[in-house]
Structure 1
């Protein structure tokens, strides 16, 4: 025999075996809320995702992506909690490409989107943060690794935004590569002109690293005492609030 709950006296039943919660029932209820799945775009620069004037693909930002995946595994956050995409800097300039390469990979506007860009991918990735925000998406963290694109000469040979980016993100980390011993990649960055913004990022620093070594730029500790890697992981781990793999 089923015993009637006195707190539900006078309330109707939804089905014969389940009581509705009556408005007179003031007992505290507990509900489990699953953190929203996130999407990350790792945006490569010239010669990264595809060949650039017979150079590459070098997959520089893919090395950053590998570090991120290892960090997520170390945190115990399963891969089914996030989608990760390696795209080129020129994959979202037109509306058609934006829909195909970015928007279709995001479930809906409530899905948190993280952008990590290197070189021309840092420049265009910063623009992408504004484009997505204006469309109603949320960007918890933007990371720009030695962004390049200020030089007018590079505009002619690269499909990039010509205006200086005006990023829109809840937290922006920028790291400038300032190698003491130059190599060819630093000459290329100098040709494209590194974006040397004076204000804007929540965290902004310089590292003695060559331009091509995106993963070293990402993992190098800045003057603030943490790296871009640390800053991104803090935001991501906070989102999942300690949720671990089953």
Structure 2
């Protein structure tokens, strides 16, 4: 992790480990020891024109740029091997069949922590997904919605998204709202068209940032209310879980 976000985190490999005598020196018999390997699943959900073309636009790989930063942090902090990561388009898990094929198959068991990071329409559908998974007995450790979009009636008519407003369920919810004041670009116009989700309550951490809607990776790095970025909050959560006994 770059900058001050990385400085406060101790790599997993640097943890102190005590020694335990498992076999006496004179005992030459082979021993089989069961080892519980903790894993986490991180799902990146892209918006319109992100992981696939959307009405001749894209793919632009916005959440893939976020994934690159998450992978870099995981490698630097020595837990990359503990992470199963996948990026999906926003419309790839709405049916039971697609959910099983594209998401559930990636989660080893219902105790495995799931992290959902969604941008734009992916933030809207990803928030819905958090409640679907919780209702099915899965563990959603953290939901990160990056400038979620989906309130507009028109965008619902031309995109495969949930119609009702999401009611997220997660142990911890981070929401980032793009609020570009100057130098707005076409992505901000598109977000206006789809209608950004104006969230007034619910997230554990939130913040409004002066960033263009398309720049999910930049929003991911911005400090939010409380002084930490979504990027740092994610790394903190994963390290905290992996260090639990």
Query: Normalization by structure 2: what TM-score?
Result: 0.84
Match of 1:219 in 2: 221
Shift of 1:37: 0.7
**Distance in 2, Cα, partners of 1:158 & 1:74:** 38
Q: Which runs of 5+ in 2 are unaligned?
A: 1-27
5 Å-filtered alignment, 1:13-24, equals none
1:118-160 deviation line (CA, Å, top 9, x unaligned): 0000000000000000000001110000000001110011000
Residue number in structure 2 paired with 1:44: 46
Does residue 165 of the first structure (1) align with residue 198 of the second (2)?
no
Change (3 A) 1:33 1:235: farther
Max radius of gyration: which structure? Answer: 1
Task: State the 1:194 CA deviation.
Answer: 0.3
Distance 1:232 1:90 in 2: 24
3-state SS of paired residue (2:227): coil
Query: Post-superposition shift, 1:33?
Result: 6.5
Contact 1:36 1:112 survives alignment (8 Å): no
Unaligned runs of 5+ in 1: 1-16, 19-30
For 2:82, the equivalent position in structure 1 comes to: 81
The residue that corresponds to 1:6 in the other structure is none
Match of 1:62 in 2: 64
Residue 223 of structure 1, CA deviation: 3.2
Q: Does 1:186 align with 2:188?
A: yes
* Secondary structure of residue in 2 paired with 1:231: helix
- Do the aligned partners of 1:35 and 1:240 also contact (CA within 8 Å) in 2? no
TM-score (norm 1): 0.84
1:24 aligns to what? none
| 2:24 aligned partner | none
SS of residue in 2 equivalent to 1:168: coil
Match for residue 205 of structure 1 among 193, 207, 229:
207
3-state DSSP of counterpart to 1:140: strand
